[in-house]
Each structure stands twice: as C-alpha cells, then as structure tokens.
Structure 1
C-alpha cells in the first residue's frame, strides 16, 4: 500500500492557531509518528510525505505529487478551530462520493479506529469539496484532530502521549482498511531512552529538541517505585546494533544521559 501522507499547512501558512500553538506543528508531529509506526509495524507500507519539516507547499503541488507517484491512498492530517466553543474529531471525504463508495468504506474503518482512541467528542463522518479530496485520483481522507482554540482539545494536543495515541489510531485504521500484515516482533525490544523527567514540560522540551535534530521521539508516562515519570523514547529496535546507532545519534545531539533498555 502506497500512502501519500499530508501534514496540512506548513512554513508561512500556520493553519489554525490557539492556546499558544500552531496547527502546522501538530499536523507534522502526528504525521511523522504515523509514518514511523506504519512502516515499522506493517509489511508492504510505503509512505511519501508532502513535507517532513516546517516548509511551505501549495495544495496543487501536494495533489500533483501524490497523483504522479501513483499513491493508493491520500491522508491529510489537520486540526480545527472555531471561536473556542467547538471541540471534537471529524473526518472528510469528497462531497461527490456516495456512502457506498470504496472511499467511504475506508473512511468508516479509519474513523472508527481514531474516534475510539483520541479522547475527543465524535463529530462524525462528513463530506466537503476540499482541494486535496477533489484533485486526487486515489481515495482520500482529511482528518480534523480536535479544535486547537478549545481549552479541552488543546490540552490534549499539547501532550506528546496523546499525539502518539492519535497517530497509532490512524495507523490501526489504515492497517484494518488495507488489510496490512503486521511485522513479526522479536522477543527483545531495545528502546533508546533520551531522558526521564518528573515534569512533563521538561520531557516535551526534550522531544522538541530531538525532533529539531531530525529524530522521532515521544513522551511515555511510566510509574517507577510508585512515582510518576515522563520518559522520552527516541526509537525502539529489534536489533541491538540499530539501537546502538540511534543512541549515538541522540548523544551527538547533546543528550548525554541517553541509554538503552531491553524489554
């Protein structure tokens, strides 16, 4: 399955804004997690992204690129806004499509997975005449993952663990929709830990630093000896040598206290 993954907005186009956050940043963070999870967890998942950093790209460039590549599916990741009063999750397919189309079937499957896991009010499955839904030659879906100007939704968006869960829910939906075969996992998983913190904001700052260095990372809340800690994970590998290489990259990024755990 060839997935064209589109983090909405970027560069000078911030998208929606609220609670000190820009939509473009949330979209990119969730999308990068989707790419990593999908390719590591499933066979036959090939992902191309419209952007992998904070860069500008016209809508026509995105759809032209997906069409030329011959993508099987187009997934556009967004957040919403509406004067602070609205909240919840919704997704869109093109308004010309019937409820019995293949695109609608994919929407059903992905919507079910995301709405189940995202802790947001379910605003339903919708249709619209958005460019990325209209100008793509393959089935396409645009997801709106909460309202950035709503206090409840924004508090979730700010949490790296929530963005991780939302990304995983999209991956689960894609895997169910396209019947992807999971990769076999080894008995031992080597995780690169780039710091543990009592303060979640300190952990989030470490994540942002690693992402600025081109590395995927997320915060995992763990309980150790009855105390709550926020642990930053910068990769998980079935092969110890790959974990060691990632650890070296993390340390070269200035994280001297990074280490590997074997689970």
Structure 2
C-alpha cells in the first residue's frame, strides 16, 4: 500500500503567517487532519501526519519522517501571506523534479481546481520554489498554499467550516487520483 506523509506547516512557537484572527499553524493542522481523515476513510492508503498537535517540528525533521518511511508522496499544507492584497491558491514543487512528480502535481492541481471554481477562488497556478521540505524530501513532494491568510476575503473562507471540509476533500481526492489509489468499498 502506498504511503502519504501529510505535513501541517509550522506549529509550536512558529505560528507561520498570521492575519484576520487566524494563525497558519492552526489552519494548516485543521486542513491536514481532515485530509488525512478523508484519505483513510475513502481510499486504500497508509498515511502519516508529521504533527497531530500544535508542536515544534524542524524542517529537517519533517523531511526525515518522510525519507525514513520511504513515502510515496510528501504533502505539505500551508497558507500564504503577502500584503493583504494578494489572494488565491497556488501549489509548489521543488525547482527541478522528475516527470513522475510533475504528473502527480498536475493531477493533484487539476482536482483542487474543482473546489477553487466552486468558491470562485483565483488559481495562481503550479509553481516551483527552493523550499527545504521540497528540496530535502526524497519522495515526490507538493506544498499547497491554501489561500492568503492576510487577505480578508480569503481568510473568511479559511474561517468557513464548509470550505475547510471541501478543500481537505479536494486535497485527499487529488492525492488519491495522483497516486491511483483504490477506493474503499
């Protein structure tokens, strides 16, 4: 069975991005745990979440967890921030990745686009960046920036339980489609 490592960004002393009464570490944990629940309840897969609570975890430790378990996919959940005016969704892979990772991310992104369209969210696209968890992880790795926490309209969605459920389900379905996971009966 395939193994997906789900990584809620930040945690503990590191709140990540903050805005409009939200902290990235809390939103990321909520989305990650719901994504984990959907994957385990609807698909034949093994999952491992890097943190189940609000705790400190280094970037190196996140990658090590994935590498030590020989994960098939490392999926990191985040929220973005810029200047209060930027908005929308984007996801990242490392600067240079193989065709397998490109295909996984494209399939994942296309599935997430369905929920973006439902909520009329700007799709900022598929991007690459030199981020430690993407660079240091041996498995195919995707980092999702779930909206801009410092933008009022985006943060209102991040406070909406229906949106959180929908985006977590889209993440789970995207991962499942990308890895060709079998559905549970």
TM-score (norm 1): 0.68
What 5-or-longer segments of structure 2 have no aligned partner?
A: none
Residues 62-82 of structure 1: CA deviation (Å, up to 9, x unaligned): 101110111110000000001
- Please state whether the residue corresponding to 1:107 is helix, strand or coil: helix
Q: Is the 8 A contact 1:89 1:115 kept in 2?
A: no
Partner of 2:13: 12
Distance 1:78 1:114 in 2: 14
Deviation at 1:178, TM superposition (A): 1.2
Aligned pair 1:105/2:103, yes or no?
yes
2:54 — aligned with what? Answer: 54
Distance (whole Å) between structure 2 residues aligned to residue 128 and residue 83 of structure 1: 20
Q: Which residue of 1 aligns with 2:3?
A: 2
1:161 aligns with 2:162: yes
Cα displacement (A) at 1:116: 1.6
CA distance in 2, matches of 1:128, 1:67: 20
- SS of the aligned residue for 2:78 comes to strand
Q: What pairs with 1:201-216 in structure 2 (closer than 5 Å)?
A: none
**Structure of higher CA gyration radius:** 1
Give the aligned length.
181
Counterpart of 1:114 (choices 107, 112, 115) is 112
Deviation (angstroms), 1:115: 2.0
Larger RCO: 1 or 2 (CA < 8 Å, sep 6+) = 2
- Give, in whole Å, the separation in 1 of the partners of 2:49 and 2:14: 17
**SS in structure 2 at match of 1:70:** coil
Is the strand fraction higher in 1 or 2? 1
Partner Cα distance (1:137, 1:4) in 2: 12
